[in-house]
Structure 1
Amino acid sequence: MMDILVILIALGLLMYLAYRGISLLILAPALATFAVLATQDGPVLGSYTQIFMGATGDFITLYFPVFLLGAIFGKLMEDSGSADVLARAIIRWLGSKRAMLAVVLSCALMTYGGVSLFVVAFAVYPIAAALFRQADIPKRLIPATIALGAFTFTMTALPGTPAIQNAIPMPYFGTSPFAAPGLGVITALVMFGLGMLWLGYRARKLAHEGYGDHPDAEFTPDKELRERSAGEGFDLMELPVEQRPVAPPSVFLAMLPLVLVIAINLLFTFLIIPRMDTDFLALPIYGETSIEQVRGIWSVIAALVLSLMVVIAFNWKRLPKLKQSVDNGANASLLPIFNTASLVGFGAVIASLGAFMLIRDTVVGLGGDNPLISLAIAVNILAGMTGSASGGMSIALSTLGETYMEMARAQGIDPELLHRVTAVATGGLDTLPHNGAVITLLAICGLTHRQAYFDLAMVAMLAPFLSLIVLITLGTVFGSF
């Protein structure tokens, strides 16, 4: 029992100290070492070099291209003016009478196309502020509106999204980015519908407030915010607010790369890769793996690389500092992947302790005969404690993924259903107040947790949680589709 308490203390300290701004690169190995020392369950140096670093390195080896290419793609979309053009176009088409819907859809389109949620927040906020002021909607609802479009259904539910939350389950379950497409779409619609209902209700209830007295000064990330928000998404030091190009691209050119990300992803997943000769993957030099384990990663890499080439080709003159944009995007990918990988290493060390066996058996048994329930609970709790959707998911899958896969095989559950439940489950408790994306979004909007967090939590925590229940129910009754 004492060893279990040590593990819980380590997780609690991870959550608290990360919120206080201490780097996960320091916290994760330090607290993993603390757990080994306190339980006296294994050699300290051996646990660090062979378990922590081994798991950390494996994660970086597998996912670094996705982080790298996604970061560069988002930076080029921002610097070319494409992100701003798309946001303004959608908002212009829908008008101020549908201000909240316009902001949600503009955020959703860009994040579903592969643009980082941080880039989206920077691009959309100034337009949303002007639109909300014109429509006299309380400013306190802007963070929730942006969060609904950027943090929820496009990140976890919609099939084909290149978000890292949709990529991480693929090697564990041998799935593709389009896992359980029907269930994913239904879940996304439930999430979107519940969020919009809440925003509409709050806008009517707070109508007497109006927009409020807010100066809406330009946001400049300060040192403390950079440190506290870097665990999720981009390093804000690499995302300065810059002057937009003089001649922005057309709406068609701005939207083309986003459409291509999804289309090329789909093409490689179901047409090109299945026709390739991949027998070489069984050789030791290629890791003795199978195409099912790498198909999803290959598809996302191909989609992002080709879409990047299109962004550059059609925006050559709008990117006079192309080298700097690419460098900034590449640099911005390093801190997020190392933070997430460190959390994976922490989870691997915890999983090596004897007391974790009891925790594992308890968690696995929470859903009774339904592994989908215990999988959802495990991912949600770990995402909440780490303040990171990708970090919580990675710990859960690295420690319990094989167990859930075995349970799924025994019960005839499609791995695609495991994939979609895992992805959607990350979008619940990860939105607790210490989450880096939450901290950053509120800072961009110039609002405090007290002013705006309640509504943000309703659309980015409660709505995804309710949609997860719908997903598990439908998946249990009808299976994956």
Structure 2
Amino acid sequence: MLSMIGLIVGLGLLIYFTMKGMNLLVAAPLCALFVALMSGLPLFPQLVEEGGVNFLTSYMGGFTSFIMSWFPMFLLGAIFGKVMEDSGAADSVSKALVNAFGLKYAVLAIVIACAVLTYGGVSLFVVAFSVYPMALSLFKQADLPRRFIPAALAFGSVTFTMTSAGSPEIQNWIPMDYLDTTPYAGWEVSILVAVLMMILGYWWLKRMINKAVGKGERFEARENDPTSLERDLPNPWMGQIPLFVVLVISFIFHHDLGTSALIIALLGGVITTYVLNRRYFTDFSKALSDGTIGALIAIGNTAAVVGFGGVAKAVPAFNVAVDAMASIPGSPLIGGAIAVSVIAGMTGSASGGQTIALPLLAPGYIDAGVNQEALHRTVAISSGALDSLPHNGYVVTTIRGICGETHKDAYGPVAAVTVIVPLIGLAVAIALFSLGLGI
């Protein structure tokens, strides 16, 4: 009982401290320590048998494993974003988009750019790094409140593209290992739900922005923003080519190399930006330095939260919660959706929700005769809802590490388009599958 109280209160405290802007490198281990103490988890490896579960090893295991897996992508992604910014390529592309769409559709341009990169196989974290400079330029030209940039980036990346049929993101691929399906499972329903989420999310995002503008909010420049002095800019096509290089290389090598393909893709993007636009750089060395610092801050904050998840999974209450989720009676689609959503929320990870829940759920559901394609799509969509709570790694990285905003200012719009909209899409998907569509 104490373990469950500790897990719930610890998660609540982490969300509270995150919303209050507390440094996550302090907040996350403190909340993890509270969870460990409430569960009677030994604090140090010296207090248990070799290989035994303890607080320090569990926390640092999660922390260091995330850095080990993602640091090259974070580093190159941040550098790519900075060289696009410093070379003027981001400004050039954004102005071309303004000319094509008009300032009225600046937000739509950002959403489309994120969606194309995400569906093309570029990691969600990297998309945020890559598109942010362009988004900043577009919001500045359109004089829109910059606190909505994280929501625009997140909406284009982690909603209607991340969990849709055919998406190369891991949230669409994990169910294949447990359900013997393909990336295109339930594609008929997936298309309908993706279109619904896209229309609803964009309408809601624009409504929130227009309401804020109506109250007098405008774009506010900061000291560390790129200079707005008149300068020569690259040809828009020269600015777009590096984005396409990242997209194409990622797509070509994704199946063989997985996320490691991003190392090649991003390095190709950085080199292409330099070769094509080198005469437009204001300070290439500073761009590299700023990108490196940005990557360290972003991955440090994210790893701190992942470390909390490592401790949460090590305490007895977590297994009790998982077992309870796996035993939900009724429709397997509803049970699976609830289980994956809740576990994703507890761990702050969509992929974590799937990899923990599916090994427990899939065998029994398959034996019961569930339609595996319908379950695949339901589980994929459900993983992209409660995973976007304030402590989620992507949310923390995008709001704080990349956009330099606070949760207090930016999280509300992010929650609307990445939590509520996917939950509505999930309900529609379950209803359509229950009616026999796509089965």
Same fold per superposition (TM over 0.5): yes
Contact 1:86 1:251 in 2 (8 A): yes
The root-mean-square deviation of aligned C-alpha atoms, in Å, is 4.3
1:69-108 equivalent positions in 2, closer than 5 A: 69-96=76-103, 99=104, 101-108=105-112
Q: Percent identity?
A: 22
Shift of 1:8: 1.0
In the superposition, relative to structure 1, how do residues 303 and 479 fare at CA in structure 2: closer, same or farther (>3 Å)?
farther
What corresponds to 1:58 in structure 2?
65
Shift of 1:193: 0.9
Contact 1:166 1:423 in 2 (8 A): no
Shift of 1:429: 4.0
SS in 1 for 2:289: helix
In structure 2, C-alpha distance between the alignment counterparts of 1:119 and 1:20, rounded to whole Å: 27
What corresponds to 1:15 in structure 2?
15
In structure 2, C-alpha distance between the alignment counterparts of 1:148 and 1:212, rounded to whole Å: 19
In structure 1, C-alpha distance between the alignment counterparts of 2:244 and 2:283, rounded to whole Å: 25
In structure 1, C-alpha distance between the alignment counterparts of 2:413 and 2:155, rounded to whole Å: 14
In the superposition, relative to structure 1, how do residues 61 and 425 fare at CA in structure 2: closer, same or farther (>3 Å)?
same
In the superposition, relative to structure 1, how do residues 344 and 419 fare at CA in structure 2: closer, same or farther (>3 Å)?
farther
Give the partner amino acid of 1:81: G
Contact 1:87 1:103 in 2 (8 A): no
Of the three residues 194, 204, 213, the one matched with 2:200 is: 194
In structure 2, C-alpha distance between the alignment counterparts of 1:246 and 1:2, rounded to whole Å: 62
Q: Is the aligned partner of 1:151 residue 2:109?
A: no
In structure 1, C-alpha distance between the alignment counterparts of 2:338 and 2:400, rounded to whole Å: 29
What corresponds to 1:357 in structure 2?
319
What corresponds to 2:235 in structure 1?
250
Of the three residues 225, 228, 244, the one matched with 1:241 is: 225
Contact 2:114 2:156 in 1 (8 A): no
- Structure-1-length-normalised TM-score: 0.69
Contact 1:367 1:374 in 2 (8 A): no
In the superposition, relative to structure 1, how do residues 168 and 30 fare at CA in structure 2: closer, same or farther (>3 Å)?
farther
In the superposition, relative to structure 1, how do residues 302 and 317 fare at CA in structure 2: closer, same or farther (>3 Å)?
same
Shift of 1:75: 1.4
Give the partner amino acid of 2:221: E
**Structure 2, gaps ≥5 residues long:** 49-53
Contact 2:341 2:382 in 1 (8 A): no
Q: Is the aligned partner of 1:261 residue 2:261?
A: no
In structure 2, C-alpha distance between the alignment counterparts of 1:159 and 1:442, rounded to whole Å: 21
In the superposition, relative to structure 1, how do residues 43 and 216 fare at CA in structure 2: closer, same or farther (>3 Å)?
closer
Deviation by residue 1:376-397 (Cα, 9 ceiling, x = unmatched): 42256337xxxxxxx4446646
Give the partner amino acid of 1:189: V
**Structure 1, gaps ≥5 residues long:** 133-138, 221-239, 274-294, 384-390
Q: Is the aligned partner of 1:219 residue 2:222?
A: yes
In structure 1, C-alpha distance between the alignment counterparts of 2:67 and 2:411, rounded to whole Å: 33
Of the three residues 268, 271, 274, the one matched with 1:309 is: 271
What corresponds to 2:33 in structure 1?
33
In the superposition, relative to structure 1, how do residues 456 and 158 fare at CA in structure 2: closer, same or farther (>3 Å)?
closer
- Structure-2-length-normalised TM-score: 0.74
Shift of 1:300: 2.4
1:119-138 equivalent positions in 2, closer than 5 A: 120=131, 123-125=134-136, 127-128=138-139, 130-131=141-142
What corresponds to 2:381 in structure 1?
421
Contact 1:381 1:429 in 2 (8 A): yes
1:458-473 equivalent positions in 2, closer than 5 A: 458-471=416-429
Contact 2:24 2:304 in 1 (8 A): yes
Give the partner amino acid of 1:18: T
Contact 1:33 1:48 in 2 (8 A): yes
Give the partner amino acid of 1:465: L
Shift of 1:296: 1.6
In structure 2, C-alpha distance between the alignment counterparts of 1:442 and 1:57, rounded to whole Å: 24
What corresponds to 2:51 in structure 1?
none
Give the partner amino acid of 2:135: V
Give the partner amino acid of 1:241: D
In the superposition, relative to structure 1, how do residues 397 and 456 fare at CA in structure 2: closer, same or farther (>3 Å)?
closer
